[in-house]
Structure 1
Amino acid sequence: MSETSNSPLAKPLTLPCGVILKNRIAKAAMSDSLGDGAGNPTRDQISLYERWARGGLALSIIGEVQGTPHFAEKPGNLILNGHSDRELLERLATAGATDNAQLWLQLGHAGAMADAGISTPKGPSALNLPGLTCGALSLDEIHALPAEFAHTARLTKQLGFGGVELHAAHGFLLNQFLSPLFNKRTDAYGGSLQNRMRLLQEVTDAVRSAVGPTYPVGIKLNATDQLEGGFAEDESLEVVAALDNAGIDLIDISGGTYFPGAASSSDRSGSGPYFLDFAKRARAKTGVPLMVTGGFKTLAQAKSAITDGTADIVGLARALVVDPELPSFWLAGQRGEIQFPRFKNPPEGGVTAWYTMQITQNAKGEATLVSDDLEDAIAEYENRDDARRLIWNAHLSRA
């Protein structure tokens, strides 16, 4: 019997909606920054998700797809609305489903973290902090959000994508509402945790109603913001419990935030996965399948997480940037340890820039960057964003 057939990573996973994932390896959402600047996919992006699908994974998730151009995280984000290029999006959906893989869109709203060069950032509350200034969403704007997410989810299904993931992690809008650091509201959406999770529950209900019972709906949720006074593990467990009967198919556990000056989870040092201990606690709160994302560096760690029941599926991000075909090798019991680049004293955001530009290299089928390319990668990353901001504002400022 082959290693593939024996591997716990090769076992199919049936989601509550009835959809079957062919194995237990997923590409977690990353901001691949491969949109064309006007919210549409590029040929490079289509090629990349086909490459990842051919690499053996069961599920890919495209990070931060917007319902409108008004609160985007980056000018390379996709936008899904009535102005989108449906033909390109359908081609992307088809490419990402190669070899019976699933391609989901992560529905996002950057809120207070929206790119100030293409938007006017607004979050739950007005903030004026070093590196972060934003206004407060009005009650009418909050009330409009569930329908906005639902509309985007409905389009996702119509275009042939396999499912959606709601982004309630990493400091983006739904996570901002959960966090007492961001959310200082005194109305029905602030104060108690029950109030702070109200918007997430309303969005979840609206999306499930829009796509029906047999279409996958996942949520990416922070175990913790890793910020003093922020959204912490005990509160996150209460949210997990509250979502148990909400028609969710997958809870993707991650952590950290892109709050200016805060270290992201993906920049942490350490020898193993970041959130398995939290996942063990979450398992007691819900019967929803759990995906654990972050810090998997070896095949043994991934297999152990599935074998001991802590995770139902393993989420890989940077591992699939440095080795896009890794799932096929792990399923065959090969390439047991991932070789990540090492950087000396990188500036804030520099490592993210390097990985983002390596994603572009993968999409084009070009040579792998080395750690010494960091300075050039940062410059290219920033220049590309600047160019796309011009395109975004020219095409989308009145959309």
Structure 2
Amino acid sequence: MNKKSLGDAVRLPCGVLLKNRFVKAAMSDSLGNGAGDATRDQARLYEKWAEGGVALSIIGEVQGDFRYPEKPGNLVLNEDSDLGTLRDLTSRASINDTHVWAQIGHAGALSDPLISNPAGPSELSFDELKCRALSLEEVRALPEQFAKTALIAKSAGFTGVQIHAAHGFLLSQFLSPLFNHREDEYGGSITCRSRIVLEVIKAVRAAVGSEYPIGIKINSSDLLEGGLVEDEALELVALLNASSIDLIDISGGTYFPGAKASSDASANGPYFLKFAQQARKQTRIPLMLTGGFKTRDQALSALEEADIDFVGLARAMIISPSLPNTWLEQGEDPVFPRFTSTQPGGVTAWYTMAMTALAKDDSQTFDTQLQAALQTYEKRDALRRDTWRKKFTR
């Protein structure tokens, strides 16, 4: 087998060619306007990443059902969407032969409780997380909902979609025994818990056609006691191998209240490399590994050690938006900030506000401290919740 290079072009099963192995992984950029619409700042952010040489950018937390948002800065793709602003976003994000995909999802039990009525596979009642159970009729309606969202994404100029089945959002909740206590055909064994995921893939493929890329993001593990474990995740990979998926994005962790995010870890190197090595034995579908890449050498090693096809970069692309071009030229690695103290949500808020500065071409002067970033982030979300309620309360 020829040695892999970061600059290799890779053809997906559907026939689409990605120009290199760099993917800007999905993040919740929180740059929607609070009414589910794209903004000029958001378009500029993804334009900068396209200029930086990435082959594919995935726009995170795109909702098809406004009733279950993760955050009030999410995009919403439905019959009321402003296709003009969306097409401005996708046209600017797709310069330089770059692909841009919408990560389509449903926050489920993790929906923002201030602007939603959270609902998941099963009723839950924890101190910081409560939700009702979706009815069987609601579950069976999910594949068609995802399919409609994918069709709108296609009409808005997105060159593909990624189905979000990771990080504790709805499809991930179905996969997890911590969230899923159902006793019907959608609960029980990992095969049954995977049923809705496979039905969503089938419906989306039928809607968008055979030549349109469909990816999926999955957890290698929920990293929570009682949650999805690696052996079950490998069974899911084997099930996905028989589907029409074009790219499997491997991540991990769950935004369960109080759980530590894998992205806040101080580990040196990609977080889920060993799982990716095992996943490769279960499938020949292209694999993407996301999380923990800090150096070019780590990216090169992962291509060989785990036989992955794409390197998913998230926070590294905030620090260095031209990182793909830099690494293709064998340039320097990004220098990540070090925080002397942290608080829940603080690091995520800092990177989110750093994305905002990047979108405004103001990164050079961005020196906000962690506490100030968190306060600004929370204040902006509060204002957008007001906008969300005015737009979507029916």
After TM superposition, the score normalised by the length of structure 1 is 0.96
User: How many angstroms does 1:69 deviate by?
Assistant: 0.7
Q: Is the 8 A contact 1:7 1:331 kept in 2?
A: no
CA distance in 2, matches of 1:107, 1:380: 27
1:93 aligns to what SS in structure 2? Answer: helix
> CA 1:178/1:368 → structure 2, altered by over 3 Å: closer, same or farther?
farther
User: How many angstroms does 1:371 deviate by?
Assistant: 6.8
2:70 aligns to what SS in structure 1? Answer: coil
2:103 aligns to what SS in structure 1? Answer: strand
2:26 aligns to what SS in structure 1? Answer: strand
Aligned length: 392
User: How many angstroms does 1:269 deviate by?
Assistant: 1.3
Structure 2: gaps (5+ residues): none
Q: Is the 8 A contact 2:354 2:366 kept in 1?
A: no
Aligned mate of 1:355, from 345, 348, 351:
351
Match of 2:81 in 1: 84
Query: What residue identity is the alignment partner of 2:103?
Result: Q
Match of 1:282 in 2: 279
Aligned mate of 1:11, from 8, 16, 39:
8
CA distance in 1, matches of 2:46, 2:155: 19
Q: Is the 8 A contact 2:274 2:306 kept in 1?
A: no
> CA 1:376/1:346 → structure 2, altered by over 3 Å: closer, same or farther?
same
Aligned mate of 2:383, from 370, 383, 387:
387
Match of 1:100 in 2: 97
Once the two structures are superposed, what CA deviation does each residue of 1:57-107 show, in whole Å capped at 9, x if it has no partner?
A: 000000010112100000000000110001111111111111000000000
Q: Does 1:378 align with 2:374?
A: yes
Q: Does 1:71 align with 2:68?
A: yes
Match of 2:36 in 1: 39
Once the two structures are superposed, what CA deviation does each residue of 1:250-273 show, in whole Å capped at 9, x if it has no partner?
A: 000000011000011101111110
Query: What residue identity is the alignment partner of 1:190?
Result: G
Q: Is the 8 A contact 2:56 2:99 kept in 1?
A: yes
Q: Is the 8 A contact 1:341 1:371 kept in 2?
A: no
CA distance in 2, matches of 1:371, 1:264: 23
Aligned mate of 1:129, from 115, 126, 129:
126
CA distance in 1, matches of 2:262, 2:24: 16
Once the two structures are superposed, what CA deviation does each residue of 1:152-192 show, in whole Å capped at 9, x if it has no partner?
A: 10111122211000000000000000000000111111111
CA distance in 2, matches of 1:311, 1:397: 44
Query: What residue identity is the alignment partner of 2:393?
Result: S
Runs of 4+ residues deviating >3 angstroms: 367-372
Match of 2:162 in 1: 165
Aligned mate of 1:175, from 172, 175, 199:
172
User: How many angstroms does 1:35 deviate by?
Assistant: 0.1
After TM superposition, the score normalised by the length of structure 2 is 0.98
User: How many angstroms does 1:344 deviate by?
Assistant: 2.1
User: How many angstroms does 1:397 deviate by?
Assistant: 1.4
Structure 1: gaps (5+ residues): 1-5
CA distance in 1, matches of 2:389, 2:77: 17
Match of 1:221 in 2: 218
Q: Does 1:241 align with 2:238?
A: yes
CA distance in 2, matches of 1:200, 1:377: 36
Q: Is the 8 A contact 2:4 2:303 kept in 1?
A: no
2:146 aligns to what SS in structure 1? Answer: helix
CA distance in 1, matches of 2:273, 2:69: 30
User: How many angstroms does 1:109 deviate by?
Assistant: 0.3
Q: Is the 8 A contact 1:65 1:79 kept in 2?
A: yes
Q: Is the 8 A contact 2:350 2:370 kept in 1?
A: yes
Match of 1:3 in 2: none
What pairs up with 1:203-218 in 2 under 5 angstroms? Answer: 203-218=200-215
Q: Does 1:317 align with 2:314?
A: yes
Q: Is the 8 A contact 1:8 1:307 kept in 2?
A: no
2:238 aligns to what SS in structure 1? Answer: helix
Q: Is the 8 A contact 1:44 1:360 kept in 2?
A: yes
Match of 2:296 in 1: 299
Match of 2:330 in 1: 333
RMSD: 1.2
1:252 aligns to what SS in structure 2? Answer: strand
Match of 2:340 in 1: 344
Once the two structures are superposed, what CA deviation does each residue of 1:297-354 show, in whole Å capped at 9, x if it has no partner?
A: 100011122244521000000000111111110010001x321111123111110000
> CA 1:251/1:369 → structure 2, altered by over 3 Å: closer, same or farther?
farther
Query: What residue identity is the alignment partner of 1:53?
Result: A
CA distance in 2, matches of 1:367, 1:29: 20
User: How many angstroms does 1:228 deviate by?
Assistant: 1.1
> CA 1:19/1:134 → structure 2, altered by over 3 Å: closer, same or farther?
same
